[in-house]
Amino acid sequence: MQTAEDSVAGRGQSPHKARAGLRHLLTNPGFFRLLGVKVTAQWGDGVFQAGLGSAVLFNPERAADPLAAAAGFAVIFLPYSVVGPFAGALLDRWDRRQVLLLSNVIRGVLVLVTAVAVLSGLTGPPLYVAALLTLGVSRFMLAGLSASLPHLVPREDLVEANAVAATLGAGMAVVGAGSAIGLRALLGAGDAGSGTVTAIAVLGSIGAALIMLGFRRGQLGPDEVNEPSRALVAIAHGLIDGARAAARTTSVAAGFVALIAHRLAYGALVLLGVLLLRNSFHDVGWLPSGMGGVGVIALAGGASILAAAFVTPPLVAKVGRRATITGSLVLAALTQLALTLTLSLPALLLSSFLIIGAGQVVKLCVDAAAQRDIGDETRGRVFALYDTLFNVSMVVSAGTVALLVPADGHSTGVMLGVVVVYLIGTLCYLLVERRGQAQASRTEATGRESG
């Protein structure tokens, strides 16, 4: 009997098979088209988020205390958390190709609406609502792409496919953010410059929609398409359906625990980093503070995501998924401890590289587990729940930290608390994995006795 640990994301895939899977991907036209949609859309996301972030957090015309910074994070990370579990049902009931095509069109319109809000100098609820809607549609579209991947890639190639798609997608988001930072330097740091940069993000939506036209109806699943009346019922039960499917799949449930721990810790770190870069740190040689520092850290994060793509498949094949996830969480904890003891701009850059990379390794393992072990009939809802937990954790963390830290971002207690979160998360992940393994052993023993 093959266990989850010995399957595609476990010990059963040798480095030779990993290389063979990569060769299969290079000759898979459907995968390349899906990859084209993802990288184009995420380039637009990077431009949009950096343009919006510059308007909210690094705009000389607007204030940015800890609570304002936390509100900015809520705008960026909360949207899908509100609609995701219910909208995820659409990904399991309606033709994903049609849903994703329409999503890109709607997102393009909302990008322009948000840009107009920034240009007009709007603050508070009007700007936040426009941004929430835009990013909500964007997260919905990315969850749909993840749910569609198994329809284009053989089961044995999912680890490599996830590594390639996640790496290039995240990398293009970094490129988009870098493009926005460069454009902002040319166009100005005020509302006019930020609004213009935000509007340029519409090019990502247009490009992704055009590439989506290359897919046939039904090519991306789901296997069984229901009528809209039945879909409405499924929407109402989306959160419960996704939670049940994840809870009864140990590899996914344990992975969610690991990801939640990482995002709780990472949310605190990002908020602290923004406050330090804006209000505390000063330029150190070639390392800038302010929005330029955000750009450098984003590049470091992109490099670490690229490194994670190369490291994860052979690492999982060699030591197994459990050891890979556990090691990544422990590495993040030790890195955070070192940052706490040597707080400086260079230390923040190095720790960002290691912590973002560790989190990406965990995410790649969980992506593969969800695509491999969750049935197509509920996969969209599980990925919707995935994104919800992912983003709510970060927003809750940032909001809590905003109430505890001063405006300059210096708080040794909070930074040590991040270390504790990583260690507790590691322990909880191992406990869920062990419980699932014990249940599987009992089920196998019962099957032998009844046989």
For the chain, domain boundaries = 8-446
Residue 173 CB neighbour total at 10 angstroms? 27
**Segments in 149-222 forming alpha helices (H):** 158-187, 191-200, 202-212
> Distance (Å, rounded) from C-alpha 25 to C-alpha 431?
35
Residue 299 and residue 177 in contact, taking contact as beta carbons nearer than 8 Å: no
Residue 208 tokens, joined:
């992704």
> Distance (Å, rounded) from C-alpha 364 to C-alpha 165?
10
Say what the alpha-carbon torsion angle 225, 227, 229, 235 is, to the nearest 10 degrees. Answer: 20
- Find, among 361, 336, 331, the residue nearest to 347 by Cα: 336
DSSP state of 14: -
> Distance (Å, rounded) from C-alpha 295 to C-alpha 50?
9
Q: Is the peptide bond before 222 cis (omega within 30 degrees of 0)?
A: yes
- CATH class of the domain whose range is 8-446: mainly alpha
**pLDDT score of 108:** 95
What's this model's pTM, rounded to 2 decimal places?
0.68
Q: Phi and psi (nearest 5°) for 213?
A: -65, -20
Residue 199's identity, in one-letter code, is A
**pLDDT score of 284:** 79
H or E segment and range at residue 322: helix 321-341
Q: Phi and psi (nearest 5°) for 57?
A: -105, -30
408-441 per-position pLDDT tens digit = 888 999 999 999 999 999 999 999 988 877 776 6
> Distance (Å, rounded) from C-alpha 363 to C-alpha 215?
27
Pick out the chain residues at pLDDT < 70: 1-24, 56-65, 68-69, 71-73, 75-90, 224-239, 291, 440-451
Residue 100's identity, in one-letter code, is L
3-8 long-range Cβ contacts below 8 angstroms, 24+ apart: 3/437, 3/440, 4/250, 4/251, 4/321, 4/369, 4/373, 5/320, 5/321, 5/322, 7/372, 8/155, 8/156, 8/158, 8/159, 8/368, 8/372
Query: Exposed (0-12), middle (13-18) or buried (19+): which is 237, by Cβ within 10 Å?
Result: middle
Residues 6+ apart with CB under 8 A from 64: 56, 57, 58, 72, 274, 278
Residue 317's identity, in one-letter code, is A
Residue 99's identity, in one-letter code, is V
**pLDDT score of 62:** 52
> Distance (Å, rounded) from C-alpha 306 to C-alpha 311?
9
Residues 6+ apart with CB under 8 A from 399: 70, 73, 74
Residue 156's identity, in one-letter code, is E
Residue 134 and residue 231 in contact, taking contact as beta carbons nearer than 8 Å: no
Residues 6+ apart with CB under 8 A from 230: 93
**pLDDT score of 293:** 79
Residue 53's identity, in one-letter code, is G
Residue 347 and residue 339 in contact, taking contact as beta carbons nearer than 8 Å: yes
Q: Is the peptide bond before 66 cis (omega within 30 degrees of 0)?
A: no
SS3 122: coil
Residue 359 and residue 266 in contact, taking contact as beta carbons nearer than 8 Å: yes
